[in-house]
Amino acid sequence: MPEQDLYTLTPSSIVVYSTVWCPDCKRAKQFFGEQRVPYINVDIEQDPKGMAFVEKINDGKRIIPTIVFPDGEVLIEPSNAELAEKLGLQTKAGRTFYDVIVVGGGPAGLTAAFYMAREGLDVLVIEKAGLGGQVGITQVLENFPGFDEGISGAEFARRLERQARRFGVEILQAQTVTGVEREGQYLTVTTGDETSYCARAVLLATGAHYRRLNVPGEAELIGTNIHFCATCDGAFYKGKKVLVIGGGNSGFEEGLFLTKFASQVDIVERSPQVRASRILQEKVARRDDMHVILNHAVKEFRGKDKLEAVLVEDRATGEIKEWHYDGVFVFIGLTPNSDLLKGKAELDPAGFIKTKGMMTTMPGVFAAGDVRAGSTKQAASAAGEGASAAIMIREYLEGK
């Protein structure tokens, strides 16, 4: 964005005026990231013009976050609900009862939803983040049947959404589900705004989230210099040096994406071998701006308001090394989003939901996609599980 567009009440993109230490700033930027809304971040402590602009808007006060939209509207310290309203996201449903409520708007949830809706069932989908799930933040989807030249994750997510809406699926966004309970013959789903919706059946397609390292310093720097989404945060590291943690497909794919911005991208894997596919390994090996470091484990992040050092153990020698990077992206596996059923249905030791015929041990509650035990964690199979779940739910409802 040209400099003259930043300090104006009608910028060409959303501009977030913030600091690295402000928790409300982190929350607002996380909200935009989850909903995949592009924005420009201005750190007012590093940008005197940005500081002056914020003071001008706020009558001499340095109030953050101050968020300026292209239509000229300014939101000061907005809540997530206010941001959702500004973006035009539907957060309340049109009625209180549906045949089926689907929790999760990824490939499994949306596929199940339009399969059921096209057969005449009233379906509500509730999604807290961007539609499309993990697929939506994938740079290129190359292994989904039917897309011989690949398709961007964002475009794939948009097509899924359009397809679901075409068949009459109602979709809530930026809305969290806090509870699923059985009340007599019906199931009740409660959302973060304390609204309750009833249904004859519920499908949990809540997916999984990226696992954390759980080492000292990580929690304090998440959202500042430690990230879990290259598509969301990669642009902050233009011309800088970044470290990707994780030698699987995700680490290599996201590392390749980060080369669009960063001048150097290194991948560290704690094992002696990487787990990424041969094709991805070959792509990385051909690049001069990428290096892969094996058998090294990250032990600590140092820095208060920003990352100052990464402490890494050479697992062959035991030597502790100090590395310096501008940012870190962590891709070390997935943890299931199964909290809604803890203590209510059977989970496996890793927390994934066990099913029989796609139904959990909680009658009327089904599970599909990455959150389900035994799933393959692939977009194509998630869509297939969504279709299977739709058929199983239809048969379940016919028997009621």
Active site residues: 229, 232-233
With residue 51 as reference, give the H or E element that holds it: helix 48-57
Residue 325's region, left for phi above 0, alpha for psi from -120 to 50, else beta, is beta
Determine how many CB atoms are found less than 10 A away from the CB of residue 353.
29
Cα separation, 257 vs 213, whole angstroms: 22
Determine how many CB atoms are found less than 10 A away from the CB of residue 146.
6
Q: Using an 8 Å Cβ cutoff, are 172 and 125 in contact?
A: yes
Cα separation, 318 vs 64, whole angstroms: 44
* Helical segments of 102-209, H only: 107-117, 153-166
Q: Using an 8 Å Cβ cutoff, are 236 and 41 in contact?
A: yes
Cα separation, 160 vs 141, whole angstroms: 14
Cα separation, 391 vs 394, whole angstroms: 5
Rg of the Cα atoms in the chain: 22
Q: Using an 8 Å Cβ cutoff, are 207 and 128 in contact?
A: no
Only one residue has tokens 């009833």, namely 198
Only one residue has tokens 């249905």, namely 345
The neighbouring-strand residues paired with 196 are: 190
